[in-house]
Amino acid sequence: MSDIHYTPQQRIGFQLAWNRLLSVVEEQAQVLIRSAFGTATREAGDLSAGVFLPDGRMIAQAVTGTPGHVNAMAESVKHFLNVFPIADLRDGDVLLTNDPWKGTGHLFDMTMVTPVFHHDKLVALFASTLHVIDIGGIGSSADGLEIYHEGLFLPILKFFSQGAVDAGVLNIIRANVREPEQVEGDLYALVACNEIGGRRLKTLLTEFKLHDLEQLGGYIVAHSERAMHNAIEDWPQGTWHNHLTIDGYDAPIDIQVAVTIEAHRILVDFAGSSPSVSRGINVVKAYTDAYTSFGIRCLIGADVPNNAGSLAVIEVRAPEGSIVNAQYPAAVTARHIIGQLLPDAVFGALRQARPDRVPAEGASSLWNLHLVGGEPLAGSTLDETAQLLRGKRFNAVSFSTGGTGARPGKDGLSVTSYPSGVRNVSLEILETSSPLVFEQKEFRTDSGGAGKDRGGLGQTIVVRHADPDTAMIIAAAFDRVVNPARGALGGLPGAGGRLRLSNGRPLRAKGRQLIPAGARLIVDTPGGGGLGDPTQRAAAQIDRDLQHELITPQAGQALYRPKGA
């Protein structure tokens, strides 16, 4: 739809209403953050919030949130409408699911959709998602063989009917999770944030004298799609290929990607990628779409609002049964490991088209420390089980990160969560809510890949149980250990990650493992790759890195000084 159909006064009015709509969804997200029980939402911002037209097209999203949640949620509302058509919805209804294939990729993410009625007409749907602390099953672990092992599966259902909660649904959820109060509190936080969004939307419609969102939504979608078409014109047309090797669970995983830029479309094809595996690192198509499109949008149309119009320009293909299009009932709990590396795969292809605009690879997938206590671990001895059960039950997640890849003309960002965008959780919060003591958390010297522009640094974390006589469990779900972030254009790779105990015994990067009583867990997160020839790095930048102990004198001499200098 072109602006030619609107008068200048209409276009100004639409722009004002659009800006107001963005403030509505941002308030929706802030309500979720302030009312959520779980630290993932309250402290790390692991959530999404947005408003949709009655046909399921997303027209606005909150800035707060993660690409995996927002972009997957952008398609999930259509699944809700297939189960509950508009004619079957009533004011006060609230819909819920954690179906990985119709939501955001794994059972821990609850997606809630609330229809909004204005003058007895359904005018919009508000949707939101968050990550609950527990969903039953084996817990947050890549060890599952099928989705049935991974926890409670909720198909799309009504959580509220005309303002009344379904007590049966709530009781089923509470009976299947280890932290029922936290999970229930998070569900009511989702209800509240959507309700506030709907309330603010109805005020907006009244003030702007709009009967519904159809014209405004059509304007937003068309304007955004046209802006993406303009952004594509700044890139050459063609097809570029890239290959990425991921550590995997038992064996390496290959990601093959071809990115094609056409006049008004970008096609990303993962044909040739590894098949899905019998462990919980598989990625559902919705999550693949989410992070692939985010990677594209970081480079092409980064300033274009994210909605159905801008997302429609990007088409993602992935063979059914591949690691990036896993079919039911595959295990998917740790889908972020591979999913959050997909922007790097896309970057490697697009760098061939515009090397001046594309960063090097980064640590990318999160290095979340998921520590649990007060429960047994399969394979433990009687003495180890006694150590585990000695302490109270707890379930803590520390959102931890590595370094990003170097950027053209800029160093990578150290210990920064990209592409997920979640915040690191305050250690004081973790130590207050769980029997944990963090003894060290600092930059990991020399972990950023050398280059004219240096990769971002990872970090070193040392943590122990507060009771020296009590053991705990690490549910590891890490990557970039065997295959660290690669440098580009002559830059060197970042350091790979490491996981070990204080006695020097290494731990596996994936799977639930024992941290014995009295032992410390030492985690070194990966660094980002460098960009450009390291010997071309400015002397002042090298001196600054040495002064701040980001690199050692040995690395400064061996990697950055021209040979013979």
Partnered with residue 118 across adjacent β-strands are: 121
pLDDT at 563: 62
CB-based contacts of 363, cutoff 8 Å, min separation 6? 401, 402, 403, 404, 456, 458, 480, 485, 494, 497, 525, 526, 527, 528
Name residue, tokens 């050692």.
552
Residue count of the chain, please give it: 565
E strands of 401-458, at which residues?
436-443
3-state SS, residue 204: helix
> Given the DSSP bridges, would you call strands 266-269 and 314-317 parallel, antiparallel or unpaired?
parallel
pLDDT at 564: 54
Closest to 528 measured CA to CA, from 369, 399, 303, 367:
367
**Could you read off the pLDDT of 466-499 as tens digits, one per residue?**
999 999 999 999 999 999 999 999 999 999 999 9
Q: What's the mean pLDDT in 208-232?
A: 96
**Could you read off the pLDDT of 191-203 as tens digits, one per residue?**
999 999 999 999 9
pLDDT class of 2 with cuts at 50, 70, 90 = very low
How big is the CA angle at 537 (ends 531 and 539), to the nearest 5 degrees? 160
How big is the CA angle at 81 (ends 290 and 52), to the nearest 5 degrees? 60
CB-based contacts of 452, cutoff 8 Å, min separation 6? 490, 491, 530, 531, 532, 533, 534, 536, 537
pTM score, whole prediction: 0.96
Query: d(Cα 173, Cα 161) in Å, to the nearest integer?
Result: 17
CB-based contacts of 469, cutoff 8 Å, min separation 6? 387, 390, 517, 518
**Could you read off the pLDDT of 322-336 as tens digits, one per residue?**
999 999 999 999 999
**Could you read off the pLDDT of 507-526 as tens digits, one per residue?**
999 999 999 999 999 999 99
pLDDT at 7: 84
**Among the ranges given (7-11, 336-340, 343-347, 559-563), the one the predictor scored with the smallest mean pLDDT:** 559-563
Q: What is the mean pLDDT of the chain?
A: 96
Q: What's the mean pLDDT in 168-196?
A: 98
Name residue, tokens 């830059």.
491
**Could you read off the pLDDT of 50-84 as tens digits, one per residue?**
999 999 999 999 998 899 999 999 999 999 999 99
pLDDT class of 382 with cuts at 50, 70, 90 = very high
CB-based contacts of 144, cutoff 8 Å, min separation 6? 137, 138, 150, 279, 280, 331, 333
pLDDT class of 8 with cuts at 50, 70, 90 = confident
Q: What's the mean pLDDT in 289-293?
A: 97
Name residue, tokens 């585990």.
388
Query: d(Cα 312, Cα 307) in Å, to the nearest integer?
Result: 8
Peptide bond into 376 cis (omega under 30): no
E strand or H helix that includes residue 557: none
pLDDT at 1: 40
